[in-house]
Structure 1
Amino acid sequence: MDLFYEWAGRIDKNTKGKRLHQVVENTKIDDVVKSDERHIGIVGFECDEGVKRNKGRIGAAKAPNHIRKLLGSIPYHYEVKSVIDIGNIQCLDNDLEAAQSNLGKYVAKLINKNFTPIILGGGHETFYGHYLGAREAVGDDKKIGMINLDAHFDLRMDEIPSSGTMFRQILESDKNAEYLCVGLQELGNIEQLFKTAEEFGVEYIFETEIQPFEKTFAKIDAFAKKQDYVIYTICTDVINQAYAPGVSAPAPFGLEPKTVRAITEHVVKLDNFLSFDVSEVNPTLDVADQTARLISYVIAETFMHLNKKSKRGRK
């Protein structure tokens, strides 16, 4: 079933300017038409079962529509590319694995129709469904580089999958997947996780090492050059809790918004960038929509960067 959000917002009369709610078109996934030019496709993931399993603070399932609400009134300055919204996928009966599988099918269909998926989570378990879709779309023989802007590795070994296990799940089963974590907090990860990261050849950049940006960008570029495709995820708890209080695990030493903006712009402008998700926004814990508004602006800027990229199709 397609669960669509009714886009709405301010309309500026007697002007040529548009806002995002006037541009986005709700479209059933089976009605998406393939284009020669890359367009943008939004999909929501109403799920925080992975956060619950990880003993975190639930509420992120409410984020997709809340982010859309704030996105709707942001000015949109481009006519070059269309933006479609294929609706939300829900996690029913606590069946995380089925929800992630369904998300993967939607993501794969968007990519195969030449759309850049922008996925609105949901807990960070969103990323596993994101990955499943990317892998299905590009095939098993292509190298996928996963860039995670996060305070945590999410490499845990647990009895059941959760929001803390995704990257281990992927690296254990996919020899053509590699992982770079940016913004890592030493105090946010136990020693065993660093050993696990070494075991799987995970690359990472500590939060304290991101500046100067030139060094970080060089490491991202070197990582990306080894891949056929790059998929990107932001776990919102990477951001300093003064700016992003509405997350499951607030970060007192987290990144400032300008840092998130700069890294995101660099990643989405990579030639082999494929898809993007934002996760762990929790409206039930937010303060005056600070977190959701911040991430909505990051997404809106991503639309801008994608519109400025040259016309090209997927390899």
Structure 2
Amino acid sequence: MIYTLADQQHWSGRIDSESDRSAFRLHQIVTLKNIEQLNENESAFGLVGFECEEGVRRNKGRLGAALAPNKIRRFLSNLPYTFDKKLIDTGNIACDGNQLEKAQEELGSHISKLYRHSCVPIILGGGHETLYGHYLGARKHIGPHASLGIINIDAHFDMRQDPLPSSGTMFRQILEEDEQAGYLCIGIQELGNTKALFEAADQLGCTYIYEEDVAANDFLNTFREIDRFAAQYDYVILTLCTDSIRADAAPGVSAPSPFGLEPKTVKILLKYIVAKNNLLSFDISEVNPIYDEGDRTIRLAAYLVAEVLHHYNKIQT
């Protein structure tokens, strides 16, 4: 594991005012801190990047996601400051060689420290193996007996039964290891998963909503399922795999989806889910700058992260 401190070079942009906070952009309010130097009660959003794609490599995906965290920061920088909490950037965890499991453990430890200092972890992946480290941090924070629901916006179940953990195995790992965990996947594509994966999802008690059903009936059925699922658990964490979004809007991902979700659909889902008062944290994964076109995917990812920051724990109207 390699821990690098946040770098100011990733936080710059337009300045409309030096004194009027209503005109500030995120680069003007973000604070850069070592994870070991957080105050007792920060009451902030805590950013951490996970520069890792070893899970994608093991899953035979397109490499490049390890470059995403700093790229996303650069596009976040110039977006307007629209929320009340502070924003702290605590740097990056990087995978050292092929030591994925160690990197995930270190990410979990980092996230648990953010929780402990009253920060809401916002994790910038990395491959979707990011989620397992995210889960480890949440489980460490809430203890072994509290129930934990995981909501995944994704085209794929990521429930493979492979010899080594990867970006395609996390949810099977969690459900087989943790009797107090549950899994809701939104955006599943029939042609994105084998019959065996659907059978595994059913056997392990996964709840899922097909991509074509998400926006049906003005999202009413989807919102009801989200409400039902979230109400079952003491705590919820949220993960967004950007390959859930249609490929022409998000070309820079590890596994593009021709029939993915509309970006506005993902925005609506995020707004609804992050308003839940038992939501602990959020990660975005699988942004791949190497395959992006005109920074479309990175820009979209930054905007979606900003939506999470803006709507976190806000009552819907």
Of 90, 97, 113 in structure 2, the residue corresponding to residue 93 of structure 1 is 97
| Secondary structure in structure 1 of the residue aligned to 2:258 | coil
Answer whether contact 1:26 1:84 (CA < 8 A) is retained.
Answer: yes
- Tell me the SS of whatever aligns to 1:217: helix
Shift of 1:2: 3.1
Q: 1:278 aligns with which of 261, 272, 284?
A: 284
Query: Counterparts of 1:36-55 in structure 2 under 5 Å?
Result: 38-55=43-60
2:242 is aligned to 236
- 3-state SS in 2 of match to 1:182: strand
Q: Deviations over 1:153-209 (max 9, x none)?
A: 000000100000000011111000000000000000000011111111100000011
The reply to whether residue 134 of structure 1 matches residue 138 of structure 2 is: yes
1:118-165 superposed Cα distances (whole Å, 9 cap, x missing partner): 000000000000000000000000000000000000000001000000
Aligned amino acid, residue 53 of structure 1 = R
User: Sequence identity of aligned pairs in percent?
Assistant: 54
**Does 2:244 align with 1:250?**
no
Unaligned runs of at least 5 residues, structure 2: none
What's the CA shift for 1:307?
7.4
2:82 aligned partner: 77
Normalising to structure 2: TM-score of the pair?
0.94
Instruction: State the distance in 2 between where 1:152 and 1:303 align.
Output: 25
Provide the residue aligned with 1:2 in structure 2: 4
Work out the CA distance in 2 between the residues paired with 1:76 and 1:91.
31
Matched, 1:117 2:121: yes
Letter in 2 for 1:255: L
| Separation of aligned partners in 1, 2:264 and 2:250 | 13
SS state at 2:198 partner? helix
Query: Residue 273 of structure 2 corresponds to which residue in structure 1?
Result: 267
1:65 equivalent to 2:67? Answer no
1:56 paired with 2:61, answer yes
After superposition, what is the alpha-carbon deviation per residue over 1:45-92, rounded to whole angstroms, capped at 9, x for unaligned? 0000000000000000000000000000011134x3111010000000
Deviations 1:215-272 (A, max 9, x none): 1010000000000000000000000011000001111100001100010011100010
Partner of 2:220: 214
Identify the match of residue 199 of structure 1 among 190, 200, 203: 203
CA distance in 2, matches of 1:172, 1:309: 34
Q: Residues 81 and 307 of structure 1 are in contact (CA less than 8 Å); yes or no, is this contact kept in structure 2?
A: no
Of 190, 194, 201, the match for 1:190 = 194
SS at match of 1:132: helix
Is 1:121–1:277's contact at 8 Å kept on the other side of the alignment?
yes
**Are 1:3 and 1:89, in contact at CA under 8 Å, matched by a contact in 2?**
no
Q: Is the 8 A contact 2:242 2:285 kept in 1?
A: yes
TM-superposed CA distance for 1:13, in Å, is: 4.1
Instruction: For 1:38 and 1:305, locate their aligned partners in 2 and report how far apart those are by CA, in whole Å.
Output: 16
Q: For residues 95 and 270 of structure 1, what CA distance do their matches in structure 2 show? A: 34
Answer whether contact 2:129 2:167 (CA < 8 A) is retained: yes
Once superposed, what is the RMSD of the aligned Cα atoms? Answer: 1.4
1:154 aligns with 2:185: no
Counterpart of 2:33 (choices 11, 15, 27) is 27
Q: Which ranges of structure 1 fall in alignment gaps of 5 or more residues?
A: 311-315
1:250 partner SS: coil
Structure 1 14/153 Cα, relative in aligned 2: closer, same or farther at 3 Å?
Answer: closer
Count of matched residue positions in the alignment of Structure 1 and Structure 2? 308
Cα drift, residue 94 of structure 1: 1.4
SS of aligned partner of 1:76: coil
- Offset, 1:295: 1.1
Deviation at 1:308, TM superposition (A): 4.5
Distance in 2 separating the partners of 1:39 and 1:133: 17
Q: Which moved more, 1:279-288 or 1:207-216?
A: 207-216
Secondary structure of 1:161's counterpart equals coil
